[in-house]
Amino acid sequence: MNIYPPYKAALDAGAGSIMASFNEIDGVPATANKWLLTDVLRTEWGFDGFVVSDYTGVSEMINHGYGDLQYVSAKALDAGLDMDMVSEGLLTTLGNSVKEGKITEQQITEACRRILEAKFKLGLFDNPYKYCDEGRARSEVFTTENREEARSTAAQSFVLLKNKGDVLPISKSGTIALVGPLADAKENMTGTWSVAARFSESISLLEGLTKAVGTNARIVYAKGANLTENETLEANSTLFGKSLHRDKRTAAELRDEAVRISKNADVIIAAVGEAAEMSGEAASRTNIEIPETQRELLKALLKTGKPVVLVLFTGRPLVLTWEEGNVPAILNVWFGGSEAGDAIADVLYGDVNPSGKLSTTFPQNVGQVPIYYAHKNTGRPLSGPWFQKFQSNYLDVPNEPLYPFGFGLSYTQFGYGEIKLSATEITSSDSVQVSIDVTNQGKRDGSEVVQLYIRDLVGSVTRPVKELKGFKKINLKAGETKTVSFTLGMKDLSFYNSELKFVAEPGKFQVFVGGNSRDVKQTEFMLE
């Protein structure tokens, strides 16, 4: 039931349509799950928009072993599905299902009504091609204002994972060596599921760094490595025109060139990680480390004795245990979009102070997966230092992740005061105010994402050890202190019990506030 809140929040924010997922729930595919699409979505939540299947979601139920196309189509409509994407089962089989009494004309009418109402609200009855205006596209796509917004948004999403010795930000002077297969790869900047993007408009890291320094610094570049030594794997990871233009030289030749141009540099920037199509849908990996040939490049660059900054491109959490232990600075830039090159340059040069936080947990190795901050305890949670026999831990690695959920550094440092509560005992008609002072203790202005977590210590069903209940981003000048406040109401304290009722149960709650899910201040209150 912990999956509910994000979806309910989307509806509360005004979502007009919902897509059914591919997976099954309690053995019933979501596309034909009446409990999910009608009992919860429409009856309990009051949703009156339309529900669409995912791409071929209806016909894919055949492979689930759920029935033939006519059967699964009728089950989907009866469950509350209104629109069939691509499978055409609703289009081609519902007539027979009506004749056989499997569904009614009223059900078809109701599905049509929801779709037509959506089109009416969108103005498509007046202008069916309202959103297909080429003139509008020419005047609104890639405008200066939109590109500036995209650049700013990208820069705010980057997560500084390590910055030993304040290697970052770097100076716009001297010689900067840029190496790596993602350094000059504009086709990959928009990430996966961007098959119709205009790659020619994207800005590579090489372009961004060069443009930002002008004549004040010298940028030298070498590819340094292919994405992977496995040519087939690279081809499968660079689909839809996102080629990395594989270099036919040997790995040693590519590394040697990178080392040669880096020897006289003041700093080395290594652009490594995943290609855009190496993560996302239908791009699972059993090994989530940086490909070996790229790691060998990093090792060679570190041997030069020059400071190395790892600019990490990735669409998923990666295992970075070796990189964390050996590379002085790591900036995770995900895939920043068409303006990625300029946005990364803004952060590397210090024009923007990084403020992004991880929205997922990074493991120490793949064997820790699944790993997440909101886990539940076993009956024997680790109660002391690792390792303890007969307690829930690993033989070969501690339980802690490499980087916890919500983690992200800055070019300045933030200090947290003690948590203040408006009350330590509340009733079901009350709320509690949570406040804390946050101070910028460094010499640079910066932004911090203050995060609020709770733990319900005793419940009628077992509860997670932490749950994120709020976050606020604040801007602080060097030396400035601000008080950040949150309100916890009954909705925040409630959960779905074993009877699927959304309830807040009396008992003790712990409250945590900090800059990530691990490094927090703590207090508690009682719900009577």
* Angstrom distance (rounded) from CA 399 to CA 418: 27
Q: Tell me the residue type at 346.
A: D
Alpha carbon distance 100, 98 (integer Å): 5
Q: Give me the sign of the Cα torsion angle 499, 504, 507, 513.
A: positive
Q: Cα-atom radius of gyration of the chain, to the nearest Å?
A: 26
Distance CA 35, CA 37 (A): 6
Note the residue count of the chain.
528
Helices (H), 245-339: 251-262, 292-302, 321-326
Residue recorded with tokens 């209150």: 525
Neighbours of 425 (CB within 10 A): 11
Strand 24-25 relative to strand 28-29, pairing: antiparallel
| Closest listed residue to residue 426, CA positions, set 524, 512, 528, 509 | 528
Exposure on the CB side of residue 271, measured as CA atoms within 13 A: 31
* Burial track 444-469 (b if 16+ CB lie within 10 A, e otherwise): eebbbbbbbbbbbeeeeeebbbbbbb
Cα–Cα distance measured from residue 452 to residue 488, given in angstroms and rounded to the nearest whole number: 10
| Three-class SS state of 191 | coil
| Catalytic-role residue among 39, 54, 430, 437 | 54
54 labelled catalytic: yes
Beta bridge partners of 310: 270, 330
Q: Which residues are catalytic?
A: 54
